[in-house]
Chains A and B, each alone.
Chain A
Amino acid sequence: MVKALASARRHRFAPVVLMLFALLAVGGIYAVAAPQAAVADSASQDDVTEGEKLFQANCASCHGPSAEGRTDVAPSLIGVGAASVHFQVSTGRMPMAANAPQAPEKGVQFSTEQTAQLAAYVASLAPGPAIPDGEQVDPALGDAANGMLVFRTNCAMCHNAVGAGGALSEGKYAPSLFNSTPTEIYEAMLTGPQSMPVFNDENITPEAKRDVIAYLMEQRADDSSPGGANLGAIGPVSEGMWVWIIGMGALIGASVWIGAKSS
Chain B
Amino acid sequence: MSTTTPLAKAAGGTADFFDTRVGAGKMVKEFARKVFPDHWSFLLGEIALYSFVVLLLTGTFLTMFFVPSMTEVHYPEDALPVAMRGVEMSEAFASTLNMSFHVRGGLLMRQIHHWAALLFMASIVTHMMRVFFTGAFRKPRELNWVVGFTILILGLAAGFTGYSLPDDVLSGNGLRITDGVVKSIPVIGSYMSFMIFGGEFPGTEIIPRLFTAHILLVPALILALIAVHLVLIVVHKHTQYPGPGRSNRNVVGYPLFPVYVAKAGGFFFVVFGVLAIMGATLAINSVWAYGPYDPSPVGAGAQPDWYMLFLEGSLRLMPGQPEFVIAGYTISLNVLIPAVVIPGLLFTALAAYPFLEAWVTGDKREHHVLDRPRNVPTRTGVGVAILTAFIILVLAGSNDILATHFNLSINSITWVFRFLFFAGPVIAFIVTKRLCLALQRRDRELVLHGHETGRVVRFASGEYIEVHQPLTDHERWLLVGHEPVRPLEIGPGENERGVARPAYKKAVRRSKLSNFFFADRVEPVTPSELAASHGHGEHEEIESAESNEGLLTNASTRG
Contacts and interface: CB of A to CB of B under 8 A. Distances in A.
A145 B83 contact: yes
B294 A248 contact: no
Nearest to B294: A152
Contacts of B303: 235-237
B47 to A, nearest CB: 5
A73 interface: no
A166 B291 contact: no
B392 to A, nearest CB: 15
A218 B281 CA distance: 20
Nearest to A154: B297
Contacts of A251: 47, 119, 123, 270-271, 274
A162 B400 contact: no
Nearest to B296: A153
Given A167-B403, A227-B284, A235 B267 contact: no
Contacts of A215: 83
Interface string B36-54: 0011111110010000000
B399 interface: yes
Contact of B82 (A157, A218, A244, A254): A218
Contact of B309 (A156, A225, A231, A240): A240
Could you say which interface size class chain B belongs to? 35 or more
Interface string B212-241: 000000000000000000000000000000
Contacts of B204: none
A239 B40 contact: no
Contact of B43 (A164, A246, A259): A259
A237 B308 CA distance: 10
A235 B302 contact: yes
A227 B85 CA distance: 19
Given A237-B401, A243-B306, A262-B38, A171 B409 contact: yes
A157 B82 CA distance: 22
Contacts of A235: 170, 301-303
A225 B306 contact: no
B408 interface: yes
Interface in B78-119: 80-87, 100-101, 107, 111, 114-115, 118-119
A252 interface: yes
B282 A227 contact: yes
A243 B115 contact: yes
A181 interface: no
A231 B290 CA distance: 15
Contact of A169 (B286, B294, B300, B411): B411
A234 B301 contact: yes
Contacts of A234: 301, 401
B286 A166 contact: no
A144 B400 CA distance: 27
A227 B283 contact: yes
A169 B411 CA distance: 6
B456 to A, nearest CB: 35
Interface in A32-53: none
A148 B75 CA distance: 14
Contact of A3 (B82, B86, B398): B82
Given A171-B409, A173-B404, A227-B107, A255 B43 contact: yes
A233 B299 CA distance: 12
Contacts of B100: 226-227
A219 B399 CA distance: 25
Contacts of B404: 165-167, 173
B533 interface: no
Nearest to B80: A7
Contacts of A195: none
A247 B274 contact: yes
B289 A233 contact: yes
Nearest to B275: A247
A230 interface: yes
Interface residues of A, number: 64
Given A160-B301, A235-B170, A170 B283 contact: no
Interface in B147-197: 169-170
A146 to B, nearest CB: 8
B407 interface: yes
Contact of B119 (A229, A248, A259): A248
Interface in B235-279: 254, 259, 263, 266-267, 270-271, 274-275, 278
Nearest to A162: B289
B57 interface: no
A149 B288 CA distance: 12
A226 B411 contact: no
B38 to A, nearest CB: 5
A173 B400 CA distance: 9
A146 B319 CA distance: 37
B38 A247 contact: no
Contacts of A173: 403-404
A256 interface: yes
Contact of A227 (B111, B126, B307): B111
B83 A218 contact: yes
A149 B87 contact: yes
Nearest to A147: B83
A219 B288 CA distance: 11
B46 to A, nearest CB: 8
A2 interface: no
B547 to A, nearest CB: 33
A233 B296 CA distance: 21
A101 interface: yes
Given A169-B410, A233-B289, A258-B263, A247 B297 contact: no
A240 B394 CA distance: 10
A153 B378 CA distance: 52
B285 interface: yes
Given A158-B300, A226-B101, A239 B83 contact: no
A3 to B, nearest CB: 7
Contacts of A244: 122, 306
A237 B301 contact: yes
B135 interface: no
Contacts of B107: 226-227
B118 A167 contact: no
A149 B88 CA distance: 10
Nearest to B111: A227
B494 to A, nearest CB: 56
B333 to A, nearest CB: 24
A263 interface: yes
B280 interface: yes
B122 A247 contact: yes
9 contacts: A3-B82, A7-B80, A157-B300, A161-B299, A166-B404, A227-B286, A255-B43, A255-B267, A262-B38
Given A237-B309, A239-B114, A242-B278, 18 more contacts: A101-B409, A145-B86, A153-B297, A167-B403, A167-B410, A169-B410, A170-B409, A227-B286, A230-B283, A239-B118, A240-B306, A244-B122, A244-B306, A258-B43, A258-B263, A258-B266, A259-B39, A259-B40
Interface of A: 3, 7, 12, 101, 144-145, 147-149, 152-153, 156-162, 164-171, 173-174, 215, 218-219, 225-231, 233-244, 246-248, 250-252, 254-256, 258-260, 262-263
**10 nearest interchain CB pairs?**
A166-B300, A240-B306, A227-B283, A259-B40, A171-B409, A167-B403, A243-B118, A167-B400, A255-B43, A156-B299
